[in-house]
Structure 1
Amino acid sequence: MTVAIRPAVLADVPVILRFVRELAEYERAADKVVATETLLADALFAQQPAAYAVVAEVDGVPVGMALYFFNFSTWTGWRGLYLEDLYVTPDARGSGVGGALLTHLAGIAVARGCTRFEWAVLDWNAPAIAFYLSKGAEPMNEWRTYRVSGDALTRLAEGA
């Protein structure tokens, strides 16, 4: 089986959204997905994209995707690549698709001068954690992620 990875195109938006929904279902958060094809198309293909995506195919059939964006480290003075979502269909798992996606993104990171390639994983997702560790990833256990959203975000923006 040969895995081909290519940049996403506008016509991929429906399959990307399907993969996002399948990932959210796997992560026990299907009810949290409010993205639409229009929102994803704008985020990925606007004049100044908010994010980028690549699609993994086997025999021309999409079997996975990775959605990423660039961030910046004040400590290093360089940009980083942040992997927002990595998804491989259940039938394609264990066949090298996930590894090929990570390798592809690492290549983008190196080519763009990034000094970091980071992502988050749910603490209960043992298969993903084992996979990432096997690729040389190191957990950042001393860091905690915080989020402000919804009404709390509005209140914070209003100075409350």
Structure 2
Amino acid sequence: MIREARADDVPAVVGLVHELAEYERAAASCTLTEAQLHAALFGPEPVAQCHVAVAEGEAAGEVVGCALWFLNFSTWTGVAGIHLEDLFVRPAHRGSGFGRALLAALAAVCVERGYARLEWQLLDWNEPSIGFYRALGAVPMDEWTSYRLDGDALAAFAVNGPVRALPADRGPSTRSGTPR
């Protein structure tokens, strides 16, 4: 069964996120706490949403998968979409349709609310997930490269950021290709 996460699901979802980090070979980088996730999902200004997969039968009631997501917005189309931050199903429950059902629930949210797209990123070595997503009809956006500014670099840029204006003849570059 797929449903929206409740506050009492937070410990299970944090556990799933940590399992995902281990699978992605980045366990040491995952510092998410229950308090942080609770605030992100249920605080006064929620910044994320979550759907969970709940087992039936022998493991009835156990949260065995999750999809953590937030809204994005395309300035080219003028329409919001969903960015899927994490999709994870415990290995013992893979192949049972939970991953597909979680994504279908997010697709339904998109359609019901008039959102234009559902998008996500994954590690280039994650062949099982690549095959899974392609089988759903998703297409890779190979023309885009993701960047991140965090940690010391983010703090330094916040302090020392753009100290001069761009010359009048040189503004921000424009891109062509897939709408953002």
Distance 1:108 1:145 in 2: 25
Distance 1:93 1:68 in 2: 20
Matching residue within 15, 18, 22 for 1:18: 15
Matching residue within 31, 36, 40 for 2:37: 40
- Structure 2 letter corresponding to 1:142: E
Alignment of 1:62-77 (within 5 A): 62-77=63-78
Distance 2:137 2:46 in 1: 29
What is the number of residues matched between the two proteins? 157
- Structure 1 letter corresponding to 2:11: P
- Structure 2 letter corresponding to 1:44: L
Deviation of the 1:111 alpha carbon: 1.1
- Structure 2 letter corresponding to 1:75: W
Q: Which aligned segments of 4 or more residues in structure 1 are displaced greater than 3 angstroms?
A: none
Q: Residue by residue, what CA displacement relative to the aligned partner does 1:58-95 show, whole Å, maximum 9, x if unpaired?
A: 21221101000001000000001000000000001011
Deviation of the 1:150 alpha carbon: 0.4
Distance 1:91 1:5 in 2: 17
Structure-1-length-normalised TM-score: 0.96
Moved more, 135-144 or 108-117: 108-117
Structure 1 unmatched ranges of 5 or more: none
Match of 1:88 in 2: 89
Distance 2:113 2:147 in 1: 27
Describe the SS at the equivalent of 2:118. Answer: strand
Alignment of 1:120-139 (within 5 A): 120-139=121-140
Distance 2:155 2:133 in 1: 35
> Are residues 1:55 and 2:52 paired?
yes
- Structure 1 letter corresponding to 2:100: G
RMSD: 0.8
Higher Cα radius of gyration? 2
Match of 2:152 in 1: 151
Structure-2-length-normalised TM-score: 0.85
- Structure 2 letter corresponding to 1:52: Q
Describe the SS at the equivalent of 2:50. Answer: strand
Deviation of the 1:29 alpha carbon: 0.2
Contact 2:80 2:116 in 1 (8 A): yes
Describe the SS at the equivalent of 2:77. Answer: coil
Q: Residue by residue, what CA displacement relative to the aligned partner does 1:105-131 show, whole Å, maximum 9, x if unpaired?
A: 100111121101100010000000000
Contact 2:74 2:80 in 1 (8 A): yes
